[in-house]
Amino acid sequence: MVAVSESGEAIEPVYEPKALAGFDYASDLGGPGEYPFTRGVYPTMYVSRPWTMRQYAGFSTAADSNRRYKQLIAAGTTGLSVAFDLPTQMGYDSDAPQARGEVGKVGVAIDSIDDMRALFEGIPLDEVSTSMTINAPAAILLLLYELVAADRGISARKLSGTIQNDILKEYIARGTYIYPPAPSLRLVADTFAYCGTNIPRWNTISISGYHMAEAGATPVQEIAFTLANAKEYVRTAIAAGLAVDDFAPRLSFFFVARSTLLEEVAKFRAARWLWAHIMRDEFGAADPRSLMLRFHTQTAGVQLTAQQPEVNLARVTIQALAAVLGGTQSLHTNAFDEAIALPSEHAARLALRTQQVIANETDLTSTVDPLAGSYAIESMTAVIRESAAELIAKVEGMGGAVAAIEQGFQKAEIEKSAYLVARQIDAGERVVVGVNKYSVAEEPGYAPLRVDPAIEAEQGERLAKLRASRDNAGVIRALDAVRASAAGQGNVLYPLRDALLARATVGEVCDALRSEWGVYHPAEVY
């Protein structure tokens, strides 16, 4: 029986030179750091320095998360990656009725500038690179970060990091949207412009295929829908009056790394090739940095199992190898116990050690793009590239990513793929070690990390004290300015910054925007 890839393409038992008939090394590959960047975006890649080792962390209160960040820094992580709880992601304060039962559960609760100060207490913001996984209120959390740096006398021009800020994939796969697409895209474009002037080293968006993959997207769907979304962001920014080469160098991407190592490596190579051609040929970008698809990778949380969780160490190692061989710029390795609960300190440290072993004890950092020229890799890259280009063209034919989202296209396609995988696992056609094969009768006991439910009341008390101690008349004036800006045409980040500096809360500024922009309700699609 012929093996089939995650994207449904046949995997040949043997790849011969004839598989690359018509393959042009000069145009299809180029050199490392050269157009079309198939072999990597930098000439020396990891030979000169390894990828940034990030660990995604955040839970409970800002003070609790701060302690975890310091532990990770002490363990050798080179970049922080912040997880926010669901109320923060949805623009609600911890004492809002909608937040009940969710405060601090899947990330850290951030309600105000006071919480942001506590989150980064003692951490040198001008020395670390910080990634924040936040979308609908991304601009607000970035402004809080900038204000905390200003408190310490750190210039915003020295800050480096990334906000996810990818609202389109929320409508497709994840659901933490607030506003309708049009004002959401305006907020993204305003953030591009604001950072270009004020925080020039910041990556203003991390266009994410990861969450679509976690929802069931195949590798082809992952890069096709991600690049289609990216085209929508580029068009929005250009329509807002920004020159493509003024903002495109700060675009970044976020992909998953699955256990199917060969196809994942080919996926990353195909994505770089496609993006370079899109930016040059469709948008006329001239700055080489505008053509580079720089990306962060996270190992596949959806492939972790609660059964025999220590086996996840093997899965994560293979997935991390796929990311490194594929040329990622930064990497988060999942902890082995994440299918059970929030990562324990022990498991988070082991996840980081996985990256450190790859970087320091293997020879993968000794040469650039070690799999280049492989008959299998180059053939798979070509197949993924062609299939993804066809799917991007289909989205474009529907009017672009937003129009396709409103028709439910991407969501329906991903759900079909997820259903197929679920059926294969149930039928035993797809082996999941420890789940439908090689299972054991009894599992060892674990003491997973649990969030104390009392933190919800504690956050509420902190909010009450904040509201009692601030100049509430000044806050009202600042929120009125936010509403006026949202109703007009100016860049809304400037009044947002003023309101946050006046100690308005995340929920209050999001409510001010809701009052003008409304909230998004997906259409029923059958």
> Mind spelling out the 3-state secondary structure of 113-156?
HHHHHHHCCCCCCCCCEEEEECCCCHHHHHHHHHHHHHHCCCCH
The proportion of the chain whose per-residue pLDDT surpasses 90, expressed as a percent, equals 89
What average pLDDT score do residues 290-317 get?
97
Q: What is the C-alpha to C-alpha distance for residues 165 and 207, in angstroms, rounded to an integer? A: 8
pLDDT at 469: 97
pLDDT at 6: 95
> What is the tens place of the pLDDT at every residue in 277-299?
999 999 999 999 999 999 999 99
Q: Which residue in 253, 277, 252, 258 sits closest to 219, CA to CA?
A: 258
Residue 377 three-state SS: helix
What average pLDDT score do residues 120-141 get?
96
Cβ-proximal residues to 385 (8 Å cutoff; 6+ apart), any chain: 270, 273, 274
What average pLDDT score do residues 59-76 get?
93
Residue range 3-35+49-427 forms a domain whose CATH class is alpha beta
Distances (CA, A) of 36 to 22, 26, 32, 232: 17, 9, 9, 21
pLDDT at 446: 66
Count the neighbouring beta carbons within 10 Å of the beta carbon of residue 54: 26
What average pLDDT score do residues 371-391 get?
95
User: Average pLDDT of the chain?
Assistant: 94
Contact 482, 495 (CB under 8 A): yes
Q: What is the C-alpha to C-alpha distance for residues 435 and 186, in angstroms, rounded to an integer? A: 45
Least confident of 11-15, 152-156, 174-178: 11-15
Confidence band for 444, pLDDT divided at 50, 70 and 90: low
Residue 92 three-state SS: coil
The proportion of the chain whose per-residue pLDDT surpasses 70, expressed as a percent, equals 97
Query: Number of H helices and number of E strands within the chain?
Result: 20, 11
Q: What is the C-alpha to C-alpha distance for residues 285 and 319, in angstroms, rounded to an integer? A: 33
pLDDT at 78: 84
pLDDT at 261 over 60: yes
Least confident of 68-77, 410-419, 491-500: 68-77
pLDDT at 526: 45
Residue 206 three-state SS: strand
Rg (CA), the chain: 23
What average pLDDT score do residues 397-426 get?
97
**Domain span(s) for CATH 3.20.20.240 in the chain:** 3-35+49-427
Category of 253 on φ-ψ map: left (φ > 0), alpha (ψ -120 to 50) or beta: beta
Cβ-proximal residues to 416 (8 Å cutoff; 6+ apart), any chain: none
- The enclosing H or E element of 401 equals helix 401-406
pLDDT at 525: 54
Beta strands in 225-362 (DSSP E): 251-257, 295-299, 330-332
Q: What pTM was estimated for this model as a whole? A: 0.94
* Higher per-residue pLDDT: 24 or 52: 52
Task: Give the rounded distance of the alpha carbon of 423 from its chain centre.
Answer: 28
Residue 337 three-state SS: coil
pLDDT at 79: 87
What average pLDDT score do residues 365-394 get?
95
DSSP conformational letter for 445: P
pLDDT at 61 over 80: yes
Q: Which residue in 522, 440, 514 sits closest to 92, CA to CA?
A: 514
Least confident of 144-148, 338-342, 448-452: 448-452
Q: What is the C-alpha to C-alpha distance for residues 135 and 112, in angstroms, rounded to an integer? A: 17
pLDDT at 24: 73
Confidence band for 1, pLDDT divided at 50, 70 and 90: low
Count the neighbouring beta carbons within 10 Å of the beta carbon of residue 442: 5
Category of 520 on φ-ψ map: left (φ > 0), alpha (ψ -120 to 50) or beta: beta
Paired strand residues for 161: 130, 202
Q: Provide DSSP, 37-63.
A: -TT-SSSSGGGTSPPEEEEEE--SSHH
Confidence band for 19, pLDDT divided at 50, 70 and 90: low
Task: Give the rounded distance of the alpha carbon of 15 from its chain centre.
Answer: 34
Least confident of 55-69, 85-99, 362-376: 55-69
* First-to-final CA distance of the chain: 36
Least confident of 164-173, 431-440, 441-450: 441-450
pLDDT at 16: 85
What average pLDDT score do residues 17-38 get?
82
pLDDT at 149: 98
* Higher per-residue pLDDT: 376 or 26: 376
> What is the tens place of the pLDDT at every residue in 79-120?
899 999 999 999 999 999 999 999 999 999 999 999 999 999
pLDDT at 22 over 50: yes
Strands 3-4, 10-11: pairing is antiparallel
- The enclosing H or E element of 10 equals strand 10-11
In one-letter notation, the amino acid at residue 123 is I
Instruction: Return the structure tokens found at 236.
Output: 């929005």
DSSP conformational letter for 173: I
Instruction: Return the structure tokens found at 68.
Output: 């975890």
Paired strand residues for 256: 298
pLDDT at 224 over 60: yes
Q: What is the C-alpha to C-alpha distance for residues 413 and 404, in angstroms, rounded to an integer? A: 11
Q: What is the C-alpha to C-alpha distance for residues 231 and 241, in angstroms, rounded to an integer? A: 16
Note if the bond before 36 is cis, omega within 30 degrees: yes
CA dihedral for 486, 489, 495, 496, sign (positive or negative): positive
pLDDT at 360: 97
pLDDT at 351 over 70: yes
What average pLDDT score do residues 434-452 get?
81
pLDDT at 29 over 90: no
